[in-house]
Amino acid sequence: MNELILGLLTFFTSTIAGIIGVGGGMMLIVILPSFLPLNALIPIHGLTQVSSNLSRAIFGYRDVQFEVIPKFLLGSFIGIGMFTVVLTLISLEYVPLFIGIYILLSLWSEKFNEKIKRYENYFLAGFFQTGLSMVVGATGPLTMTLLLKDYKDKNKVVATGAVLMSITHILKLFVFMYFGFVFFDYIGVIIAMIIGAVTGSWVSTKLRDKIDGKKFTIILKVLLTALAIQVIVKVFI
């Protein structure tokens, strides 16, 4: 029964993420603790997000902006290595707070954007998104705010974001396998969630064209804002 429920929930969150570009992963990681033990939470979530994002990128491959990938990939390799070490040394409980504040300022403060623009790049985005995903689980909003500034076409934002998030989750999975997590122990749940994720990606690709560019930007900003506030609030609860 859990397999069916999780498959349907993954379909729903994957569809939302495929239409808007972000949000599905964060919704899913909030839901999963009700169905999975804590030690399986981030690994299973990561595997599901690989299938969701990779299928979304494949369905929209014509819109992927490949020029951003090399810098992001290099940053991701360094980030996953450093944060894997850092995780064993210090507490990172307040990291989500800084992520949430950064997203809010990036979306709504022109002065902040003017000052941060010289430092913002896909290398740093890869470093922090992939590194912090070991702790936070869903860090897609970090690169989505950057893509939203660089590209006005909604399909380019969604497809390119899907590739970058795929890189993040794939590297994270290798780390969990290195530390001995056995994915086969959850094979029924994994199959159901992958089917839901891929189906959701396909459906969302068909629905995305129904939304015009201006409405898409407004919806994405509102959703990113809501997710950022949720992340900040959770730090203090």
User: Hunting for tokens 């201006």 — which residue is that?
Assistant: 214
pLDDT at residue 36, rounded to an integer: 85
pLDDT at residue 215, rounded to an integer: 77
Neighbours of 104 (CB within 10 A): 18
pLDDT at residue 55, rounded to an integer: 92
Q: Which residues contact 71 (CB under 8 A, 6 or more apart)?
A: 121, 122, 123, 126
Per-residue DSSP letter, 140: T
Neighbours of 86 (CB within 10 A): 13
d(CA 45, CA 36) in angstroms, rounded, equals 10
Q: Which two tokens stand for residue 208?
A: 């995305």
Residue pLDDT tens, the chain, 237 long: 788 999 999 998 888 888 877 777 777 877 787 888 877 887 898 899 899 999 989 998 999 999 999 999 999 999 988 887 776 675 656 767 777 787 788 778 888 777 766 667 899 889 988 887 776 666 767 788 789 888 888 889 989 999 999 999 899 888 888 888 889 889 999 999 999 999 999 998 888 877 775 777 787 788 778 878 887 888 787
pLDDT at residue 178, rounded to an integer: 85
- Domain that includes residue 29, residue range: 2-236
* C-beta of residue 216 within 8 angstroms of C-beta of residue 224: no
Q: What angle do CA 161, 166, 170 make, to 5 degrees?
A: 155
Number of structural domains found in the chain: 1
Q: Which two tokens stand for residue 154?
A: 């909604």
d(CA 105, CA 86) in angstroms, rounded, equals 26
d(CA 51, CA 57) in angstroms, rounded, equals 10
* C-beta of residue 111 within 8 angstroms of C-beta of residue 150: no
pLDDT at residue 90, rounded to an integer: 59
pTM: 0.79
